[in-house]
Amino acid sequence: AQSVSQHNHHVILSEAASLELGCNYSYGGTVNLFWYVQYPGQHLQLLLKYFSGDPLVKGIKGFEAEFIKSKFSFNLRKPSVQWSDTAEYFCAVSRGSSNTGKLIFGQGTTLQVKP
């Protein structure tokens, strides 16, 4: 069955530190890849997405992610985090061939940024 794995459950960083959150998926076909963020008390918001083309995608708030097909990975990065990036981050995958587009989520990574 298709699955998504996020390596880090809880990450604590100081402001200005660099961030990389790992995401791997287990489906061998064409995929659509997403990172969602959930700020405290708010709903899931799309950070960035990959459907095709340039494997390095840029999202909102300075985030980017790189799709490495050979590694089945879609890691999220940000060169310099801010206190306001404190949130939960979810990687999600849908099958490119799927008519329904259902999302399979990773277990989430809680990011805590210390001022």
Partner 1 sequence: EPEVTQTPSHQVTQMGQEVILRCVPISNHLYFYWYRQILGQKVEFLVSFYNNEISEKSEIFDDQFSVERPDGSNFTLKIRSTKLEDSAMYFCASRADSPYEQYFGPGTRLTVT
Phi, psi of 70 (to 5 degrees): -65, -25
Of 28, 29, 40, 42, which one interacts with partner 1 (CB under 8 A)? 42
Of 53, 54, 99, 115, which one interacts with partner 1 (CB under 8 A)? 99
Tell me how far, at minimum, the Cβ of 80 lies from partner 1, in Å. 26
CA angle (53 as vertex; 58, 72 as ends), nearest 5: 80
First vs last Cα of the chain: how many Å apart? 41
d(CA 67, CA 12): 24
- Is 32 a binding residue for partner 1 by CB under 8 A? The answer is yes
Tell me how far, at minimum, the Cβ of 58 lies from partner 1, in Å. 15
Q: Per CB under 8 A, which of residues 66..85 are in contact with partner 1?
A: none
Tell me how far, at minimum, the Cβ of 43 lies from partner 1, in Å. 4
Of 46, 56, 60, 68, which one interacts with partner 1 (CB under 8 A)? 46
d(CA 86, CA 109): 11
- Residue 56, judged by CB atoms within 10 A of its CB (0-12, 13-18, 19+), counts as exposed
Tell me how far, at minimum, the Cβ of 4 lies from partner 1, in Å. 8
Residues at the interface with partner 1 (CB under 8 A): 32, 34, 36, 42-46, 49, 51, 90, 92, 94, 99-108
